[in-house]
Structure 1
């Protein structure tokens, strides 16, 4: 098993979008209902191409196959792909604001085998090098155990409400970088 991480490019977008659908449909089952999953795919889950343009989104490849994707951001948006952004996304101040962990998706065939952990490590190192002293994220229910195991403290629990009436439970999480 050979895990490699690298910066994502716009050429990765089609494969990443397929990965998102597969990961969300399979790994969210049992945590969310089918209608919640489909609504979240329509309205929220996806890749934010701004992360790729900023050079803060990574892919993980296992033996040459796409195993996952995830990134961090120096921008205000906490979650959501291109389909959920309608306004400018201002930059955060690393001296005052927490950077963001964003858009983590692991192929179901590679789940619980170190892919998410490796991507988080790359993101934390890069965000720290960019001057951020802490990171924040909005975890889904299936993602909460991973983030908790990596030192992210759970905060407020809330719901994201979608235009079709569905809603998705999330957990605000935070970590101080050392």
Structure 2
């Protein structure tokens, strides 16, 4: 990358919420259309394409900027421990990852998720989980995640949204 193309990764701030909303609402419909029918997307996109203020300001959510423009976002959250499931001990969940649809396959998602993985590991996480869109499964596989099962997440009006439950150890 040239200096003008340099990617900057930083912790998200409250002032980024509007830009993250725009990134999600512009990118998700374009990125997901090959793997989900329009009847699902028309219901699901308004629900999933909104920045979560609590997540954005958690200190574990990050943005990727190029020339001052946010071109990617994503983060992680600790998984509440379930005493009946040893996999939840020191586990974290990947959250709300997106790359600008015009910038895919330029290393943004990989750089961002690598940063997220390293940050979660520094915080003591030993296992990462995610619910990947069907579109993102190859991306997560390339970063060492294992597909476990397809899970239908019920959205508004009873519309199921299929996601792949994936995990990796750190």
TM-score > 0.5 by shorter chain: yes
Conserved 8 A contact 2:17-2:56: no
CA RMSD of aligned residues (A): 1.8
> Which residue pairs with 2:23 in the alignment?
19
Conserved 8 A contact 1:46-1:103: no
Q: Distance in 1 between matches of 2:116 and 2:44?
A: 24
Larger Rg, first or second structure (1 or 2): 2
Give TM-score, length-normalised by structure 2: 0.88
Q: Deviations over 1:35-61 (max 9, x none)?
A: 211211233343222222320110101
Q: 4+ residue stretches of structure 1 with deviation over 4 A? A: none
Give TM-score, length-normalised by structure 1: 0.84
Partner of residue 30 from structure 1, selected from 27, 34, 40: 34
In the alignment, structure 1 residue 133 sits paired with structure 2 residue 136: no
> Which residue pairs with 1:83 in the alignment?
none
Structure 2, unmatched stretches of 5+, are: 81-85
> Which residue pairs with 2:83 in the alignment?
none
> More helix by proportion, 1 or 2?
2
1:158-173 map, 5 Å: 158-173=151-166
1:28-177 map, 5 Å: 28-76=32-80, 96-177=89-170
